[in-house]
Structure 1
Amino acid sequence: MPAGSGFLRREVGLWGLTFVSLGSIIGSGWLLGALSAAQAAGPASVISWLLAGGMLALLALVHAELGTAYPVAGGTARFPGFAFGVLAGLTAGWAAWLQAVTIAPIEVEASLQYLNNIGWVRSHLGLLHADGTLSPAGLGFATLLMLLFTVINVQGVRRLTRSNTAVVLWKLAIPVLTVIVVAALTFQPSNFTAGGGFSPYGAHGIFAALPAGVVFSLQGFEQAIQLGGEARDPQRDLSRAVILAMLIGTVLYVLLQIVFIGGLDPRNLADGWAHPVGAGDFGPYATIAAAAGAGWLAVLLYADAFVSPAGTGLVYLGTSARLSYALARQGTLPPALSHLSRRGVPLYSIVLAFVAGELAFLPYPSWQSLVGLVTSATAIMYAFAPVSLTALRRRDPRHHRPYRLPAAGIAAPAAFVAANLVIYWGGFEATWKLLLAIGAGLALFAITVAHTPDRERPAVDWRASSWIWPWLIGLTLIGFLGRYGRGARLWLPSWIDLLVVIAFSLVVFAYAVSVAMDSERVRAAVDREKDPVGRQVRPLPGDPS
């Protein structure tokens, strides 16, 4: 394929797509999410995982239909663009890019934090300062990891998925082994009623656990969708990959939370759930394994504490590049970002992801405090999908849909409500910061348009996108009046706040669907994305991926 050619190579099979999503789901979250969830909700954190799994599964099914019907690169940015025009695509894509491009450096830092917990590494290398930020040596190692991710991504999507598959097999084996060993050696059923009972913090604790690491840990199913433009048989494989990855991830995380609670030392729970593991124990499962006499498992866990986050960082650097590629194809970011190399990858977008990741290594707070911001950005991205699905079903009804969301008339609005609840639980502080970041994206769009010749400027359908800013500002205001996050006013009583979010979401959903672009413009937008050989692309000879 000549450099700069306009279409990506379709080379990724079912298992490659499944492992891309599963590899994104199993990252630093499995090592840290259980601890954060238990601190927020106690034993009832198991309910938090089940609740998050159900909500995200609904959103995953929405993405499964969209991905199989419209298999394009950076799908989370493209689906809203098909239904509501370039501003909607920009807003969704920019939120998606912000979270994706941040996750790679977050996962790298998580890897280094685990490594620094080993005595020899801490004394001889000193990867972190006392306040937890990267030291010069830590920054050097972090940069080397980001460079490794970049080189693998530049080699092409086949190299990316094959490298990721080997890592995911390891990442899946170690958590499963942890569940078996901890359950067999040191499981205390009495822990589920210790420290104030099964639900010491009530429903508020269950909801507060979701943005404290639970949703962050389970997110990532959409990564297969982002590679939709490179899937060999997207209409058959995308829905299967998304659903399979989500199912495996949810079951695994629920089991991990159960054995984490049951494996704790009951003495640490006498005064509540604020410190369920000892002070300074960064790897909670390793602490439990060592206390149970399974030191060999603790060694494997510290090794996996490097492999799992690093594998997730590898995937997210690649998918964030697909998002900026998609935005450039829409005309909302500089066109150079849509340039493809001879290997069929968006080269400049990959370089941009590396540079943005390096900037993210500037001093910032802990893993726990960062995941709330990333979770809210992800929920904004997810929220666009059910609105887009309903609008596209109405405006493009004859389009072939190999997978159809069951009971979409109920499931799609419910999925939109679920995403909005996650944004609300993420807290006012996260929402207003994201509002500013999205505004910065619009400013970049304005600059891009100003330097684009008149005949090439994307047409903006202001009416079709008129729901977006009232929706985002309204959610921010509800968060200000609610009880989650610093700066919130606690003016909305418990449960009343949830009813307000649900009612507001349904009103926005109905209005958004009603103002979607007309059928002719929707079909024109979709037709522009068809590749020269159609959606069904033959696999390359001898490619088993």
Structure 2
Amino acid sequence: MSSPALQRRLGLRDAVFLGLGSMIGAGVFSAFAPAADAAGAGLLLALALAAVVAFGNATSTAQLAAVHPTSGGVYAYGRAELGPWWGYAAGWGFVIGKTASCAAMALTAAAYLAPAGWERPVAAVVVVALVTVNLFGITRTALVTRALVVVVLAVLAVAVVSIGAGAASSEDAVGFDGLFEGGVYGTLQAAGLLFFAFAGYARIATLGEEVRDPQRTIPRAIVLAFAGALVTYAVVAVAVLAALGPDGLAASAAPIADAVAQVGATWAVPVVQVGAAAASLGALLALIAGIGRTTFAMAREGDLPRALAAVHPRWHVPHRAELALGAVVVALVLLVDLRGAIGFSSFGVLLYYAVANLAAWRQRGEARRYPRALQAIGLVGCVVLGFTLPWQAVVSGFGVVAVGLVLRAVRVSRRA
């Protein structure tokens, strides 16, 4: 008897909110500080560069999703267009890198929710709670994500207006001198870290078997979510940089809360803390859904243990994959720090999108929706940004990918 199947229950609005929920928490509340540490005020240039590379990747993903409306995202696209080894490399990089992202988001949420010294236990509890939400079906995941995104956008609007009003009335407002102070390498490294913030549109593609009219819905949702996130990042980046300056931003564990406090809007600090927690929770919720589907797709093809390909007969979710993911993330939040998780995640995701751009480049005829120049920009950008990440992220990224390839080689040889 065949396993129960995933069901197409999501429309365009659900897909867009899942994409936004994946991106906004990561970018606004965790990636700006390490980027400012690398590039100073040049993080604005880095943001623009990351956006250009991400747009190339987004259009490649949208083009592929229209032809291959299945679970697994670039794992499935790479298998179909380039071969099983390419798909495996993308899927392995995504699962490992985004599992690190889950740890980063859980720790970010806990930094706002937990009393000092309790961040890691609270992060573990958060992971368990959100895995539980995901187990009750994709429509519930979408509903909770939508509510969290609305809260986050409202809070960010309050914060930006407060910072703008405070900075306008202050004689000590920080300027934007030194946009090039980070140099080429520092700016590229910051762009690689900020790319972590844009990668959420992949979550839409990984849900290919659960979106209605996927050939039309997924490409539109990817572009809309990317555009919404970019506008949000740009506005918030300018505001926090103006309030804190590059050094203050680089040293801040909670940059938006510190920015509103810096301009005297202390009343808004609790509001920002609520928004930060909601953003991180929304990102984590969507990440769990996306990684679970990619793990499910890889298990279905035998690239991960086939037991993980089970679908719950009532809730129609890959429950074993999500439970296994939850266990791994709980372990990670007890062991890794936020900065390390962001750098490591960026490496895995850059590998993922490099494969996406190669796969989209190979498409012909009616499958093509965007010029190959965008795929070239995306591919070159992924490679360059990947090698300018902190060396620890590059070394660990190569090591984990190598381990994954060896594991698949052993598995293939045993089958033969």
Question: Is 1:56–1:219's contact at 8 Å kept on the other side of the alignment?
Answer: yes
Displacement of 1:448 in angstroms is 4.4
Aligned pair partner of 2:334 in 359, 362, 370 = 362
Going from structure 1 to structure 2, the CA distance change for 1:370 and 1:347 (only over 3 Å counts) comes to closer
Question: Is 2:105–2:283's contact at 8 Å kept on the other side of the alignment?
Answer: yes
Displacement of 1:144 in angstroms is 2.3
In 2, Cα distance between the equivalents of 1:442 and 1:55?
Answer: 26
Alignment deviations for residues 470-528 of structure 1 (CA, whole Å, 9 cap, x no partner) = xxxxxxxxxxxxxxxxxxxxxxxxxxxxxxxxxxxxxxxxxxxxxxxxxxxxxxxxxxx
Going from structure 1 to structure 2, the CA distance change for 1:193 and 1:148 (only over 3 Å counts) comes to closer
Going from structure 1 to structure 2, the CA distance change for 1:205 and 1:438 (only over 3 Å counts) comes to closer
TM-score normalized with structure 2 length: 0.92
Displacement of 1:331 in angstroms is 2.2
Going from structure 1 to structure 2, the CA distance change for 1:382 and 1:295 (only over 3 Å counts) comes to same
Aligned pair partner of 2:125 in 141, 144, 152 = 144
1:385 corresponding residue in structure 2? 356
2:293 corresponding residue in structure 1? 322
Please give the secondary structure, in 2, of the residue aligned with 1:406. coil
1:433 corresponding residue in structure 2? 396
Question: Is 2:31–2:342's contact at 8 Å kept on the other side of the alignment?
Answer: no
Quick check: 1:416 aligned with 2:379? yes
Larger % of helix: which? 2
Aligned pair partner of 1:83 in 57, 81, 84 = 81
Going from structure 1 to structure 2, the CA distance change for 1:93 and 1:193 (only over 3 Å counts) comes to closer
In 1, Cα distance between the equivalents of 2:263 and 2:175?
Answer: 19
Going from structure 1 to structure 2, the CA distance change for 1:41 and 1:432 (only over 3 Å counts) comes to closer
1:284 corresponding residue in structure 2? 255
Displacement of 1:31 in angstroms is 2.1
1:458 corresponding residue in structure 2? none
Root-mean-square deviation (Å): 2.2
Going from structure 1 to structure 2, the CA distance change for 1:427 and 1:285 (only over 3 Å counts) comes to closer
The one-letter code sitting in structure 2 at the alignment partner of 1:363 is L
Of 233-242 and 178-187, the range deviating more from structure 2:
178-187
In 1, Cα distance between the equivalents of 2:127 and 2:329?
Answer: 8
Question: Is 1:383–1:420's contact at 8 Å kept on the other side of the alignment?
Answer: yes
1:463 corresponding residue in structure 2? none
Question: Is 1:89–1:327's contact at 8 Å kept on the other side of the alignment?
Answer: no
Displacement of 1:368 in angstroms is 2.3
In 2, Cα distance between the equivalents of 1:181 and 1:3?
Answer: 56
Displacement of 1:449 in angstroms is 4.4
The one-letter code sitting in structure 1 at the alignment partner of 2:271 is L
Trace 1:145-164 onto structure 2 (pairs within 5 A). Answer: 145-164=126-145
Of 443-452 and 106-115, the range deviating more from structure 2:
443-452
In 1, Cα distance between the equivalents of 2:375 and 2:189?
Answer: 24
Displacement of 1:450 in angstroms is 6.2
1:353 corresponding residue in structure 2? 325
Quick check: 1:171 aligned with 2:171? no
Question: Is 1:59–1:415's contact at 8 Å kept on the other side of the alignment?
Answer: yes
Going from structure 1 to structure 2, the CA distance change for 1:291 and 1:415 (only over 3 Å counts) comes to closer
1:4 corresponding residue in structure 2? 3
Of 165-174 and 13-22, the range deviating more from structure 2:
165-174
Please give the secondary structure, in 2, of the residue aligned with 1:103. helix
1:207 corresponding residue in structure 2? 188
1:312 corresponding residue in structure 2? 283
Going from structure 1 to structure 2, the CA distance change for 1:435 and 1:291 (only over 3 Å counts) comes to closer
Question: Is 2:354–2:383's contact at 8 Å kept on the other side of the alignment?
Answer: yes
TM-score normalized with structure 1 length: 0.71
Aligned pair partner of 1:107 in 102, 105, 108 = 105
In 1, Cα distance between the equivalents of 2:71 and 2:249?
Answer: 43
1:55 corresponding residue in structure 2? 53
Displacement of 1:37 in angstroms is 2.7
Please give the secondary structure, in 2, of the residue aligned with 1:360. helix
Question: Is 1:21–1:224's contact at 8 Å kept on the other side of the alignment?
Answer: yes
In 2, Cα distance between the equivalents of 1:31 and 1:411?
Answer: 29
In 2, Cα distance between the equivalents of 1:171 and 1:276?
Answer: 20
Alignment deviations for residues 187-208 of structure 1 (CA, whole Å, 9 cap, x no partner) = 47963355xx343233333222
Of 74-83 and 84-93, the range deviating more from structure 2:
84-93
In 1, Cα distance between the equivalents of 2:407 and 2:179?
Answer: 49
Question: Is 2:99–2:325's contact at 8 Å kept on the other side of the alignment?
Answer: yes
Please give the secondary structure, in 1, of the residue aligned with 2:363. helix
Going from structure 1 to structure 2, the CA distance change for 1:301 and 1:324 (only over 3 Å counts) comes to same
Trace 1:104-143 onto structure 2 (pairs within 5 A). Answer: 104-116=102-114, 121-122=115-116, 126-128=117-119, 134=120, 138=121, 141-143=122-124
Alignment deviations for residues 243-302 of structure 1 (CA, whole Å, 9 cap, x no partner) = 0111111111111111112223xxxx6xxx44457x6x5322212212333223111111
Question: Is 1:43–1:192's contact at 8 Å kept on the other side of the alignment?
Answer: no
1:71 corresponding residue in structure 2? 69
Of 243-252 and 353-362, the range deviating more from structure 2:
353-362
Tell me: higher relative CO, structure 1 or 2? Use CA pairs within 8 A at least 6 residues apart.
2
Give structure 2 stretches of 5+ with no counterpart: none
Question: Is 2:100–2:344's contact at 8 Å kept on the other side of the alignment?
Answer: no
Alignment deviations for residues 363-387 of structure 1 (CA, whole Å, 9 cap, x no partner) = 223x223311110110000000111
Alignment deviations for residues 281-328 of structure 1 (CA, whole Å, 9 cap, x no partner) = 532221221233322311111112221111111111111111111111
Quick check: 1:226 aligned with 2:206? yes
- Matched residue count: 413
Going from structure 1 to structure 2, the CA distance change for 1:245 and 1:193 (only over 3 Å counts) comes to closer
Going from structure 1 to structure 2, the CA distance change for 1:95 and 1:170 (only over 3 Å counts) comes to same
